[in-house]
Amino acid sequence: MQLKPIGVIRSALKERSKAPKQGSEGAPDAWLEVHPSAAKGLDGVAAGDEIILLTWFHKAHREVLKVHPRSDPKHRLMGVFATRSPDRPNPIGLHEVTVRSVEKNRLRVGPIEAIDGTPVVDIKPVLCGFMPSGKTVRSRSKGSNRRA
């Protein structure tokens, strides 16, 4: 299996230790610079869209299997698959963000807690509709007409 990054995050956040744990916890907006080889894939992405970025936490510790949730030793150790820890065998990040603007192969997105230089491996729209579990999912996008 091979993942090929389609872009990179350019953020004011330079150190993992200074980044919020979640985007909703005071994270800034950042630029997603999409590589020229993937730029045509942005056709149809617009300001106001809600998207999901899949990132590769390049600074993660991949040997970690148990963590204290939110790095708080008051919480009992748990398996990484029961947490949102970036430290895990395959450190894939999942970030729901709003597209603030589109400038050629660059998207201004946010809020996002990913640090500067974080590789982006995919972009997905947030869809309206029903999940197989029966849960209703809605997009907060303004005017997008998305199809699966």
Domain ranges of the chain: 7-137
In sequence order, the 6+-apart residues with CB closer than 8 A to the CB of 138 are: 128
Q: Is the pLDDT of residue 147 over 50?
A: no
Residue 92 — very low, low, confident or very high, per pLDDT cuts 50/70/90? Answer: very high
Burial of 41 by CB count in 10 Å (0-12 exposed, 13-18 middle, 19+ buried)?
Answer: middle
Q: What is the pLDDT of residue 72?
A: 82
pTM of model > 0.85: no
For domain 7-137, the CATH superfamily is: YaeB-like (2.40.30.70)
Buried b (16+ CB within 10 A) or exposed e, 123-148: bebbbbeeeeeeeeeebebeebebee
Q: How sure is the predictor about 148, in pLDDT bands with cuts at 50, 70 and 90?
A: very low
Check whether 97 has a pLDDT greater than 90: yes
Q: Is the peptide bond before 111 cis (omega within 30 degrees of 0)?
A: yes
CA angle, 123 then 129 then 134, to 5°: 115
Q: What is the mean pLDDT of residues 49-72?
A: 92
Q: Please spell the DSSP secondary structure of 114-148, one letter per residue.
A: PPTT-EEEEEEEPPPEE-TTS-EE----SS-----
Q: What is the pLDDT of residues 41-51, one digit of tens each?
A: 999 999 999 99
User: Does position 73 have pLDDT exceeding 80, yes or no?
Assistant: yes
The larger pLDDT score, comparing residue 146 to residue 90, is at 90
